[in-house]
């Protein structure tokens, strides 16, 4: 069987998990009441315009889904935990690991695989073409140029303002206080943030991840080979996975077989952020999630994201989010 829509794809995943739908006042709650340890999915939709999914579940058995989806849609979100393997037609097999992400999909063909025992935790918003055609374009003409964004390429980047929005949405959902008006206001805010990022310059954080043909080191202009790009992407995967105790640049350079200068310059070019700032961003994203979803103390959270001293953690958190961890938790 080959699925043709994102809704059909989501339905099959829920069926493989053995989840049933239980409707509450804000949205739909999916779980397996016979096996509550498998987790849940919270779903909020305005059909046929957009969908918000908040997932925290464990895969009970190996399965895969083949898809051939002609839909034009925008997806973005945060994966806090979990990794899937997928094969997009005419592309090599890839894996998706914890990170922020953004993608415009159109005529997407391929296969995605899940493995028994893997745990997934993340939040994702899907916006369908009808929303742009019926609401965004008539009211805000020329704001969205899909032609300027590569299709079916998953960018591992979101502006930090959007990370904060996802924390707000999850916090309200956990309290059963997320209403449709608030959700739509935040979806519009996310679209505005993305458009500001794309329109502020021909060279932006998303274009950097594809058009990265050369870098400047000192007075030298060096080309990035496909091997160099693979090495930088591998370094990104390592830092994403090992953010609690990330390798030093010298060690990371040896791990991906790329000299330190080229690695640092290539990383900044490809991901529009330095290695140090990226590691801090991943740590702070993880910390923000823990602040809104757990009752762990600030000190415990600091240790969980790799800080030995909670004071240093609090200082960095305020630098990133503009609030102390205590202030951040109180506003959620």
Rounded Cα distance, 173 and 20, in Å: 18
Exposure string of 128-138, with b = 16+ CB inside 10 Å and e = fewer, is beebbeeebee
Rounded Cα distance, 61 and 118, in Å: 9
Q: Which two tokens stand for residue 157?
A: 């980047």
CB 164 within 8 A of CB 281: no
Q: Is the predicted pLDDT of residue 285 greater than 60, yes or no?
A: yes
Read off the pLDDT band of 196 (50, 70, 90). Answer: confident
Specify the domain boundaries for CATH 1.10.10.60 within the chain: 277-330
Residues 78-90: tens digit of each pLDDT: 988 887 777 777 6
Helix segments in 203-321, DSSP class H:
205-208, 226-241, 249-256, 260-271, 275-293, 298-304, 310-321
Specify the domain boundaries for CATH 2.60.120.10 within the chain: 2-201
Pick from 266, 75, 73: nearest CA to 158: 75
Most confident of 119-123, 181-185, 316-320: 181-185
Q: Is the predicted pLDDT of residue 5 greater than 90, yes or no?
A: yes
Q: Is the predicted pLDDT of residue 144 greater than 70, yes or no?
A: no
Tell me the three state secondary structure of residue 320: helix
Task: Kindly provide the residue ranges of all beta strands, DSSP E only, lying in 4-136, ordered along the sequence.
Answer: 20-23, 28-31, 39-46, 50-58, 63-69, 73-81, 84-88, 93-96, 99-105, 108-114, 119-128
- Averaged pLDDT, 157-165: 85
Residues 8-61: tens digit of each pLDDT: 999 999 999 999 999 876 799 999 999 999 999 999 999 999 999 999 999 999
Residues with Cβ < 8 Å from 161, sequence gap 6 or more? 189, 193
Distance of CA 8 to the CA centre of its chain: 21
Residue 42: per-residue pLDDT: 96
Residue 156: per-residue pLDDT: 75
What average pLDDT is seen over the chain?
86
Lowest-confidence segment of 83-87, 121-125, 278-282, 298-302 by average pLDDT: 83-87
**Cross-sheet strand order for the sheet of 50-58:** 20-23, 28-31, 39-46, 50-58, 119-128, 73-81, 99-105
Tell me the three state secondary structure of residue 201: coil
Residue 80: per-residue pLDDT: 85
Q: Superfamily for 2-201?
A: Jelly Rolls (2.60.120.10)
Read off the pLDDT band of 315 (50, 70, 90). Answer: very high
Q: Superfamily for 277-330?
A: Homeodomain-like (1.10.10.60)
Rounded Cα distance, 198 and 291, in Å: 30
Percent of the chain topping pLDDT 90? 48
Q: Which two tokens stand for residue 301?
A: 């959270």
Residues with Cβ < 8 Å from 289, sequence gap 6 or more? 78, 80, 167, 170
Q: Is the predicted pLDDT of residue 268 greater than 60, yes or no?
A: yes
Exposure string of 193-205, with b = 16+ CB inside 10 Å and e = fewer, is bbeebbeeeeebb
Rounded Cα distance, 244 and 233, in Å: 19
- What region does 117 belong to: left with phi over 0, alpha with psi -120 to 50, or beta? left
Residue 51: per-residue pLDDT: 97
Higher-confidence position of 155 and 306: 306
Higher-confidence position of 24 and 100: 100
Q: Is the predicted pLDDT of residue 209 greater than 60, yes or no?
A: no
Q: Is the predicted pLDDT of residue 126 greater than 80, yes or no?
A: yes
Residues 177-189: tens digit of each pLDDT: 999 999 999 999 9
Residue 198: per-residue pLDDT: 78
Rounded Cα distance, 146 and 74, in Å: 10
Rounded Cα distance, 298 and 310, in Å: 7
CB 141 within 8 A of CB 195: no
């Amino acid at each position: 069987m080959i699925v043709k829509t994102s809704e059909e794809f989501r339905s099959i995943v829920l069926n493989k998990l053995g989840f049933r739908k239980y409707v509450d006042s804000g949205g739909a709650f999916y779980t397996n009441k016979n096996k509550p340890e498998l987790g849940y999915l919270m779903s909020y939709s305005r059909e046929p315009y957009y969908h918000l999914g908040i997932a925290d579940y464990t895969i009970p058995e190996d399965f895969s889904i083949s898809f051939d989806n002609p839909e034009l849609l925008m997806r973005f979100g945060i994966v806090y935990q979990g990794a899937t393997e997928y094969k997009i037609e005419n592309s090599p097999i890839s894996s998706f690991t914890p990170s922020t992400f953004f993608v415009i999909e159109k005529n997407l063909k391929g296969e995605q695989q899940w493995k028994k025992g893997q745990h997934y935790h993340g939040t994702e918003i899907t916006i369908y073409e009808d929303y742009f055609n019926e609401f965004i374009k008539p009211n805000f003409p020329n704001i969205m140029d899909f032609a300027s964004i590569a299709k079916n390429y998953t960018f591992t980047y979101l502006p930090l303002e959007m990370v904060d929005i996802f924390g707000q949405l999850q916090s309200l959902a956990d309290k059963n206080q997320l209403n449709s008006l608030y959700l739509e206001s935040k979806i519009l805010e996310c679209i505005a943030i993305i458009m500001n990022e794309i329109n502020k310059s021909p060279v932006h954080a998303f274009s950097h991840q594809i058009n990265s043909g050369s870098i400047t080191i000192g007075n030298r202009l060096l080309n990035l080979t496909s091997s160099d790009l693979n090495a930088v992407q591998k370094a990104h995967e390592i830092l994403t996975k090992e953010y609690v105790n990330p390798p030093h640049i010298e060690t990371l350079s040896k791990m991906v077989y790329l000299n330190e200068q080229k690695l640092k310059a290539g990383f900044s070019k490809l991901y529009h952020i330095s290695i140090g700032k990226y590691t801090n961003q991943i740590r702070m994203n993880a910390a923000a999630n823990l602040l809104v979803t757990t009752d762990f103390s600030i000190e415990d959270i600091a240790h969980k994201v790799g800080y030995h001293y909670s004071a240093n953690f609090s200082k960095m958190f305020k630098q990133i989010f503009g609030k102390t961890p205590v202030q951040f938790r109180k506003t959620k």
